[in-house]
Amino acid sequence: MALTIGVDIGGTKVAAGVVDEDGRIVAHLLRPTPAENPERVAHTIGDVILELARDREIEAVGLGAAGFVDETRSIVRFAPNLAWREEPLQKKVSDLVGLPVVVENDANAMAWGEARFGAGRGESHLVCVTVGTGIGGGIVFDGSLYRGRWGMGAEFGHMQAVPQGRLCGCGNLGCWEQYASGSALVNEARKIAEAEPDRAVTLLKIAGGTPEQIEGHEVTEAARQGDPAALAAFSSMARWIGQGLADLVAVLDPGCFVLGGGVSRAADLWIDETREFFATHLSGRGHRPLADIRLAELGASAGLVGAADLARRR
CB 61 within 8 A of CB 100: yes
The mean per-residue pLDDT over the stretch 3-28 comes to 95
Short-list 104, 86, 135, 119, CA closest to 9 = 104
Average of pLDDT values for 295-308?
94
Q: What is the DSSP letter of 35?
A: T
Residue 238 has pLDDT above 90, yes or no: yes
The 10s digit of each residue's pLDDT in 247-301 is: 999 999 999 999 998 899 999 999 999 999 999 999 998 899 999 999 999 988 9
Percent of the chain with pLDDT over 90: 88
What was the pLDDT predicted at 52?
98
**230 falls in which pLDDT band (50, 70, 90)?**
very high
DSSP 225: T
**What pLDDT, on the 0 to 100 scale, is given for residue 81?**
73
Write the Ramachandran bin of 55: left for phi over 0, alpha for psi from -120 to 50, otherwise beta: left
